[in-house]
Structure 1
Amino acid sequence: MSPCALLETRHACTQGVALDQRLAFWEDYNASSLVGLKCTTFCDDGLAARQDNLQLDGMRLARIEGNEHVVERDGAMIRTAPKESVFVSFVTGSGSFFYQDGACQLLEPGELIIYRTDKPYLFGFSGPMRQFIFDLPQALFAERCLQRFDRPLKVGGHSGVQRLLLRTLGERTDEFFQQPLSQDVPEYQNQALELLGSLIAGQTGERRINALSASYLLAAKHCISEQLADPELSCERVAAQTGISPRHLTRLFALEGTQPSRFILEKRLQQAHDLLSSPRGLGLDIGEIAYRHGFTSQAHFARAFKAHYGQTPSEARASQVSLSS
């Protein structure tokens, strides 16, 4: 696939489907593209819904719209159609409710509910519904968002920081759906995971930061993500482009327990690892992958990669090839 090619987007819409067949149609589509579930609606006009689905390198995305309805994933469905993911549902339509592990959560538009798909749940929408679903493998969620996760977690805009992060996540996801270019997948995926990690840390009280500092951090991370391939990228340049001093930039990253230079290195290694582990990188030699991610020396790349991941780039590629075969 050309790096500028559009990702394939799967679509489903109940329009044109007979009223008495819409629920079965919707359940079949979700089982093949998202998760097995049962759907119920009490609308006289039947279920009216549409869904778009994207497959990224490490996760899946869904954009769903519909009228009032309820979806359920019960124990029997979990046994017959197992799926071990963490779903992050970003609800932007009307109010809704989510029930899992004996607790019912009420959601307002603009809030997140995070839950496991290997546990029964009920999700209901009392009015016109619109949501994004981030379908994350449990290992990826543990690595990037929250290490131990057993019970559903609601994330709301209780502070200016949370509202800023939620708005940014929604806007960037909406923009990505408008034109999902394959070359933009690594940047978007990493931005989404960064935002989700920050939202969860803010909700669980692991990170304290004000709205102004959060906006500077977002701007700095955006500058970094756009320039990772440039070996001349420096903390001084990022600070200047963000409109703050290098010292202030260092203090901001210290709030997240890191340093600007370490963050840049880890993002480069992360994107290089993603490319090595995906079919897109099979035709590239390791030196080219290092160069594409801002490393001027393949030896330096190999040393940093092994220190971070505990294996060489060649070993990472070999393990991916063996999994694919």
Structure 2
Amino acid sequence: MFDFPPLEGAAFGIAAWRREVAASFVPLDVHPLGDGPFWARSSRTDVGEVSVFRIEHSASIVARTPKLVRRSPSDLIKVSLQLEGEELVEQDGRAALLHPGDLAIYDTSRPYSLRFEGSTSLLVFTFPRGYLDIPRDELAAVTATAFPLESPLGRVVNPFFVGLAHSLTELPGANGQRLARTGLDLLMTLLSTQLQQGVPRDPRRQLLHEMLDSIDGRLEDPELSPATIASAHFISTRHLHAVFAEHGITVAGWIRERRLEHIRRDLADAALADVPIARIAARWGLVNPAHFSRLFRTTFGQSPSEYRSATALEPASSAPRPPVLADERRTASSLR
């Protein structure tokens, strides 16, 4: 299943690798382990806002410290899938030891650490947090949790992500995006199953999940509101707002966030490039173009048309990434 050829090209030294991970992911502290020289190689494939990295490196510790989180905020989600060696993922008070074929998820908006006792090979998938249809505190309950290859869902989901890394370079554009979306849907199934293991013991949390599912199925309805949701679940609007408040979110805010996130995905979808923006927004319940445009710009810092143009797909590439010299990086940055 892991028949990847070795990455070729010149290896990064430790200083160059620290610069590389900061540019590719988020700023991280990287410290070599052992007495030998540190080395690393990587390749990258981008499909819309989903990136797939294949990484090989020697023993090291990687940390996203509280100071780095404050200095460089990020909403990027990362999924590690181990190919060779072992990886210890720590976040939110949990630790997961990954063996070949296992995967784990972690959130760059909060501190985490990764430990590799020996040389390793792994896949890392990154995407915006909004692609996961669960509140932030619910996501924090499944970070740094090992999802083994030899588990009922792992036997389906984990090999799919390996196949995704193999295939995306040959499936650019709309086909690659559909494949990436399928992978994220499978990941949501994995995370939801893990979360629901604790739901029967907590009726309010179970009610929250039922209401989140209900909202997600009715986002296209312009009349969707706290009152209609409360009525559908036979509770008062006061009770509804209280359940959401326990998780640090509001009902109206969650509906707005999910609608905008679905619209953002559709605007980046090459298969929908010819569909008018107003029609995409209306499909997700935002029928007033001027109101939608203001919401989108406030949330994402760009107009819908600017965002669509900025995310127009280039052909996918998985060429190994060579070390970048400091003066070359400054030149590249000036051209962005």
Give TM class, smaller chain.
0.5 to 0.7
Shift of 1:104: 2.6
Given that 1:146 and 1:200 are in contact with CA atoms closer than 8 Å, whether structure 2 keeps it comes out as no
CA contact (8 A) 1:86 1:141 kept: no
Structure 1 gaps of 5+ residues are 1-11, 208-256, 290-300
- Structure 1 residue 158, shift from structure 2 partner: 4.8
- Structure 1 residue 276, shift from structure 2 partner: 4.9
CA deviations over 1:251-290 (Å, ceiling 9, x no partner):
xxxxxx99xxx9xx9xxx99x956752395897353xx9x
Q: Alpha-carbon deviation of 1:159? A: 2.6
Change (3 A) 1:153 1:312: farther
- Of 176, 194, 200, which aligns to 1:203? 194
Alignment match of 2:139 (pick from 149, 157, 163)? 149
Partner of 1:163: 155
Matches within 5 A, 1:121-160: 121-142=112-133, 148-151=138-141, 152-154=143-145, 155-160=147-152
Structure 2 stretches lacking a partner, 5+ long = 1-6, 199-212, 221-258, 308-336
C-alpha separation between the residues in 2 aligned to 1:96 and 1:124?
A: 6
Deviates more, 1:184-193 or 1:29-38: 184-193
Distance 1:283 1:109, change over 3 A: closer
User: What CA distance in whole angstroms lies between the structure 1 residues aligned with 2:166 and 2:136?
Assistant: 24
Structure 1 residues 204-229: Cα deviation after superposition (integer angstroms, max 9, x where no partner): 3469xxxxxxxxxxxxxxxxxxxxxx
Question: In terms of mean alpha carbon deviation, does 97-106 or 72-81 score higher?
Answer: 97-106
TM-score by length of 1: 0.60
Correspondence list, 1:305-324, <5 A: 306=282, 309-312=284-287, 319=296, 322=303, 324=306
8 Å contact from structure 1 (residues 78, 118) kept in 2: yes
- Aligned match of 1:172: 164
Give 1:65-76 correspondences, 5 Å limit.
65-76=56-67
Compute the displacement of 1:172 (Å). Answer: 2.4
Aligned residues: 236
Task: Assess if the C-alpha contact under 8 Å between 1:14 and 1:25 holds in 2.
Answer: no
| 1:187 correspondence with 2:178 | yes
Separation of aligned partners in 1, 2:272 and 2:56: 37
1:43 and 1:198 map into 2 onto residues whose CA distance is 39
> Map of 1:222-261 to 2, 5 A cutoff?
none
- C-alpha change, 1:198 and 1:14, in structure 2 (3 Å) is same
2:28 is matched with 37
State the secondary structure of the residue aligned to 2:133: helix
CA distance in 2, matches of 1:276, 1:187: 11
Answering whether residue 268 of structure 2 is matched by residue 278 of structure 1, we say: yes
Contact 2:60–2:115 (CA under 8 A) maintained in structure 1:
yes
Distance 1:121 1:92 in 2: 21
Classify 1:160/1:322 alpha carbon distance in 2 versus 1 (closer, same or farther; 3 Å): closer
User: Could you tell me whether the CA contact under 8 Å between 1:162 and 1:202 is conserved in 2?
Assistant: no
Residues 134/312 of structure 1: CA separation in 2 closer, same or farther (3 Å cut): farther
Describe the SS at the equivalent of 1:92.
Answer: strand
Aligned residues: CA RMSD: 3.9
Residue aligning to 1:15: 10
CA separation of 1:160 and 1:105: change in aligned 2, threshold 3 A: closer
Aligned partner letter, 1:104? A
- CA distance in structure 2 between the aligned counterparts of 1:51 and 1:276, rounded to whole angstroms: 30
Match of 2:42 among 51, 56, 76: 51
